[in-house]
């Protein structure tokens, strides 16, 4: 929106966003490298990033470094920070990390900036439909939460159900 309202600042805003994204990855890398092992001892961190998941991410990064960062840049909700932190925790080379992340961060920032700039040029239209958009997002979120709760309950119920007679071994099976 700012780039739309102040068009002479478009490039400054773009490069600020690019630098912010790039250096925030560095911050996550160094956080993982310097205090990552200590963080993994915290209970909430163990739930968020279990040892198995950390090993999978580290293994995938070692085998597909650039591809991991490219895909990871486009995954929201903390997963990309988990990738950057696990790269630091696994003590991968910072120089390689910084070089490998240069193209993915540029692609991500360019795509996001273009999308939001385009939406910003139509902000009057967006404001007109914001209630509908918010209601739709709220409903989609609600349906997702309800579906997840039903799924979890059904899984627990199946786990706790006693075996039926059809599942029991037959007399012939017992004799063998």
pLDDT digits (tens, 9 = 90+) for 99-144: 988 999 999 999 999 888 887 777 777 777 888 888 899 999 999 9
- Is 0.75 surpassed by the pTM of this model? no
Average pLDDT over the chain reads 82
Instruction: Decide if 29 contacts 85 (C-beta within 8 A).
Output: yes
Instruction: Give per-residue pLDDT as tens, 58-110.
Output: 787 778 878 888 888 888 767 788 788 888 888 888 998 899 889 999 999 99
Which candidate, 101, 91, 79, places its Cα nearest to that of 26? 101
């Amino acid at each position: 929106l700012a780039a739309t309202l102040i068009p002479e600042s478009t490039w400054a805003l773009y490069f600020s966003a690019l630098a912010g994204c790039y250096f925030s990855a560095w911050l996550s890398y160094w956080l993982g490298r310097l205090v990552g092992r200590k963080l993994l001892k915290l209970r909430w961190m163990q739930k968020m990033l279990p040892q198995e998941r950390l090993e999978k991410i580290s293994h995938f990064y070692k085998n597909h470094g650039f591809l991991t960062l490219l895909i990871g840049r486009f995954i929201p909700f903390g997963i990309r920070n988990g990738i950057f932190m696990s790269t630091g925790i696994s003590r991968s080379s910072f120089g390689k990390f910084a070089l490998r992340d240069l193209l993915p961060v540029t692609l991500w920032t360019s795509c996001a900036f273009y999308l939001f700039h385009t939406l910003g040029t139509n902000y009057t239209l967006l404001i007109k439909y914001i209630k509908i958009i918010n209601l739709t997002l709220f409903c989609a979120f609600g349906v997702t939460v309800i579906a997840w709760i039903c799924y979890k309950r059904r899984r627990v119920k199946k786990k706790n159900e006693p075996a039926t007679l059809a599942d029991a071994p037959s007399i012939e099976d017992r004799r063998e």
